[in-house]
């Protein structure tokens, strides 16, 4: 399926907040769901580049944010009903100079689906640590 990847618009913020809230609550089942709020999206994406992936019918299927100064992918969230349908790959391949530039991200160890997704796109473990949501691995995409 073909997706349109574009920069987000202010009018997208409500939908992006919904995706961010719903997917974190469904995925991070080990975290108290009351710790997540709709306002988190705007607070957590401040100063970042935000891209959205639109399905052919115009629905926002997912989004990705990048802290450009460090080539750090901060967030990549896909609506549950669109997962496994190429949305995440479409967002990654829209990154500037992909796949010739090194990118990195943090992925919670308990988020097995995301770990499998990133490994399948060439990301390797380059570090790790602990956050409020649990232990994470730092993953890097290192061009050949």
Q: Report yes or no on whether pTM surpasses 0.85.
A: yes
CATH code for residues 4-141? 3.40.630.30
So what's the pLDDT on residue 91? Answer: 98
Residue 64's pLDDT is 99
pLDDT average, residue stretch 103-130: 97
Asked whether residue 1 carries a pLDDT value surpassing 90, the answer given is: no
Domain boundaries, the chain: 4-141
Summarize pLDDT for 33-59 with one digit per residue, the tens. Answer: 889 999 999 999 999 999 999 999 999
- Report, in angstroms and rounded to the nearest whole number, the Rg of the chain calculated over CA atoms: 14
Q: Rounded CA gap, 41 and 15, in Å? A: 10
- Give the per-residue pLDDT at 82: 97
Residue range 122-126: mean pLDDT, rounded: 98
pLDDT in tens, 55-94: 999 999 999 999 999 999 999 999 999 999 999 999 999 9
Secondary structure (H, E, C), the chain? CCCEEEECCHHHHHHHHHHHHHHHHHHCCCCCHHHCCCCHHHHHCCCCEEEEEECCCCCEEEEEEEEHHHCEEEEEEECHHHCCCCHHHHHHHCCCCCCCCCEEEEEECCCHHHHHHHHHCCEEEEEEEEECCEEEEEEEECCC
- pLDDT reading at 100 higher than 90: yes
For residue 34, what pLDDT is reported? 87
76 cis-preceded (ω within 30 degrees of 0): no
């Amino acid at each position: 399926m073909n997706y349109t990847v574009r920069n987000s618009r202010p009018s997208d913020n409500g939908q992006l907040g919904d995706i961010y809230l719903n997917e974190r609550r469904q995925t991070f089942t080990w975290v108290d769901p009351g710790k997540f709020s709709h306002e988190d999206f705007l607070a957590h994406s401040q100063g970042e580049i935000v891209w959205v992936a639109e399905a052919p019918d115009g629905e926002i299927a997912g989004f990705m944010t990048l802290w450009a100064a460090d080539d750090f992918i901060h967030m990549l969230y896909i609506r549950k009903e669109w997962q496994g349908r190429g949305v995440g790959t479409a967002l990654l391949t829209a990154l500037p100079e992909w796949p010739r530039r090194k990118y990195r991200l943090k992925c919670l160890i308990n988020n097995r689906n995301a770990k499998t997704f990133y490994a399948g796109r060439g990301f390797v473990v380059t570090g790790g640590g602990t956050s409020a949501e649990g232990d994470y691995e730092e993953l890097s995409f290192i061009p050949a």
